[in-house]
Amino acid sequence: MSITRHRLFYPGVLLLVLLVSNVFFTPTFFNLRMQDGHLYGSLIDIVRNGAPLLIVAVGMTFVIATGGIDLSVGAVMAISGAVATHHIAGLSNQDSTAGVLTAVGMALGFCLLLGLWNGILVAVVGIQPIIATLILMVAGRGVAQWITDGQIITVNSPAYKLIGGGYKLALPFAIFLAIAVLVFAAVISRRSALGMLIESVGGNAEASRLAGIRSRGLILLAYVFSGFCAGLAGLMISSNVSSADANNTGLFYELDAILAVVIGGTALIGGRYFLVGTLVGALTIQTLTTTILTIGINPNATLLFKAFVVFVMCLIQSPAFRAKVFRRRQRPASPPAAPASKEQHVRVPA
């Protein structure tokens, strides 16, 4: 009884169900093997491909906790990749460590400024977050296209490739980056009073003001961090494919990130936030994306399928819905909604 009350019970179960259901289509789903000193397997792929999403979602968690939202992360990712590859493409030696570090520094620095821009619009100018970040969501793609001149920039730089496509200690480097960001965020916010003050501002802005909290700086910080996270994720994706595509990098990432945060238990109205929940949420979204690819759903139906599964997951997580469906008719052990999605799996490939 007590375990089902835990905040992460339903998100955790959903992730497990999703993972286990993969075994029906890919019996080797849980297998891991070493090859050339690198660890391979579906699970590794999920974590690696999910790393950028997790990083964006961690940044998004803080923004949402303040009661805001950041729609610009996808565009910021595109800008970040564009800035870095544009600089590297202009280098005489594309693999020079110094050159790549400069490119990364420029990209991340620019994304910090973009985050600051969002933060100023929200906290200083007082524009509603959804509108304020919508500006950069639209304009940001334009900026990225402007940097890349409308072309896909490709680079040949093993040093740059490391960020999103390389390996360290037998594991994809991206995994270490994601863990580093998650741990950094958790330690900074929970060891200091940052987390509590952000939750206070998100939970009740006026009460926080009257308690003497300077919310402006806290909100700025959240958007700046979100910009940084999006920038890093953009680098990872661009690095993985050694190119920058201003039109498609990070497309719809903002929605996946928001979804990951919400699945993790952080409410969209702000207040309490849960970083471990965000981790579970991001892994769930990525597992779903991977599942769709491995079971070979018709590409035209993937978005619809994804939306359907997310819809079912949200229903199961809703206490009000559970109370309605599961408590009222306890006698006939009605199949919960999750197996229904499995039937869906069977039908589609057939």
Partner 1 sequence: MASAASSPVVQMTGIRKEFPGVKALDGVDLRLFAGEVHALMGENGAGKSTLIKVLTGVYTIDGGEIRLGGEPVLFSSPLQAQQAGVSTVYQEVNLCTNLSVAENIFIGREPRRMGAINWREMRRRAREALERVDLHIDVSQPLSSYSIAIQQMVAIARAVDISAQVLILDEPTSSLDQGEVQQLFRVMRQLKAEGLAIVFVSHFLEQIYEITDRMTVLRNGQLVGEWMTSELPQVELVSKMIGRDLATLEALEGENKRTLTALENATPVIQAKGVGRKGSVEPFDLSVYPGEVVGLAGLLGSGRTEVARLMFGADRADSGDFLVDGKPTHLRTPRAATSQGIAFTSENRRTEGLVGELTVRENIILALQAARGWTRPISRKRQDELVDEYIKALDIRPANPEQQVRNLSGGNQQKVLLARWLITRPKLLILDEPTRGIDVGAKAQIQKLVVSLSEEGMSVLFISAELEEVLRLSHKVEVLRDRRIIAELANDEGMTVEKIVETIAGDSREEVRA
Binding site for partner 1 (CB under 8 A): 191-194, 196-197, 199-200, 203-204, 206-214, 218, 271-272
Using the minimum distance from each CB to partner 1, give the nearer residue, 208 or 238. Answer: 208
Minimum gap (Å) between residue 3 Cβ and partner 1: 15
Using the minimum distance from each CB to partner 1, give the nearer residue, 192 or 334. Answer: 192
Minimum gap (Å) between residue 198 Cβ and partner 1: 8
Helix/strand/coil for 289: helix
Using the minimum distance from each CB to partner 1, give the nearer residue, 168 or 214. Answer: 214
Using the minimum distance from each CB to partner 1, give the nearer residue, 183 or 340. Answer: 183
Rounded Cα distance, 174 and 180, in Å: 10
Using the minimum distance from each CB to partner 1, give the nearer residue, 214 or 329. Answer: 214
Using the minimum distance from each CB to partner 1, give the nearer residue, 216 or 342. Answer: 216
- Comparing C-alpha atoms, which of 184, 235, 166 is closest to residue 58? 184
Minimum gap (Å) between residue 277 Cβ and partner 1: 15
Minimum gap (Å) between residue 308 Cβ and partner 1: 30
Return all residues near 174 (Cβ < 8 A) that are at least 6 apart: 48, 51, 52, 163, 164, 165, 236, 240
Region class of 336: left (phi > 0), else alpha (psi between -120 and 50), else beta = beta
Using the minimum distance from each CB to partner 1, give the nearer residue, 205 or 338. Answer: 205
Helix/strand/coil for 38: strand
Contact status, residue 122 vs residue 219, Cβ threshold 8 Å: yes
Minimum gap (Å) between residue 191 Cβ and partner 1: 7
CA dihedral (89, 90, 91, 95) in degrees, to 10, reads 0
Contact status, residue 159 vs residue 96, Cβ threshold 8 Å: yes
Minimum gap (Å) between residue 196 Cβ and partner 1: 6
Rounded Cα distance, 228 and 175, in Å: 17
Rounded Cα distance, 326 and 18, in Å: 21
Question: Residue 41 has which token pair?
Answer: 């397997």
Minimum gap (Å) between residue 232 Cβ and partner 1: 23
Using the minimum distance from each CB to partner 1, give the nearer residue, 320 or 350. Answer: 320
Minimum gap (Å) between residue 192 Cβ and partner 1: 5
